[in-house]
Amino acid sequence: MAIFSDVHGQIGRLSACLEAVARTGADELWCLGDAIDGLSARPPELTVACVRAINDVCTVKLAGNHEAWALQD
């Protein structure tokens, strides 16, 4: 099992993390929140790419405070 959080829409760092996890052979991957950065000026397509990648590979996906903030708007 591998656990990560606080991606904050940084697709490059997420990709590096997922590649490292793939080398470990972990059978489950959990994201504990903050896949997006609700305070950032990052292009929305980067946020969408992060969320899609996490949805594709993670067994467990939890919302963090940044997801909660985004839902309030």
pLDDT at 73: 61
Q: What is the CA radius of gyration of the chain?
A: 12
- Name the nearest CA neighbour of 3 among 51, 68, 57, 65: 57
Is residue 36 exposed (0-12), middle (13-18) or buried (19+ Cβ within 10 Å)?
buried
Q: Are 72 and 36 in contact (CB under 8 A)?
A: no
Separation between Cα atoms, residue 60 and residue 28, nearest integer Å: 8
Percent of the chain with pLDDT over 70: 99
- Sketch out the chain's domains with CATH numbers: 2-72 (3.60.21.10)
pLDDT tens digits, 52-72: 999 999 999 999 999 998 888
